[in-house]
Amino acid sequence: MATIALGMIPAAYGQGHPIDTAQSKLHVYAFKSGLFAGFADNHDVEAPIMQGTIDESTSYVRFVIDARQMKVLDPKLSPDKRQQVQDRMLGPDVLDPVRYPQITFASTHVDGAGQTEFLVTGQLSLHGVTRPISARVRKENGRYVGTCILKQRDFGITPISIAGGTVKVKDELKIEFDIRASARVAEASK
pLDDT digits (tens, 9 = 90+) for 126-155: 999 999 999 999 998 889 999 999 999 999
**Domains of the chain by residue range:** 3-180
| CB environment 147-186: b (16+ within 10 A), e (fewer) | ebebebebbebebbeeeeeebbbbbbbebebebbbbeeeb
- 3-180 — its CATH code? 2.40.128.110
CA distance 53 to 184: 11
Q: What is the pTM of this model?
A: 0.80
Name the pLDDT band for 123 (thresholds 50, 70, 90): confident
28 closest CA partner among 120, 90, 121: 90
Residue 39 has pLDDT above 60, yes or no: no
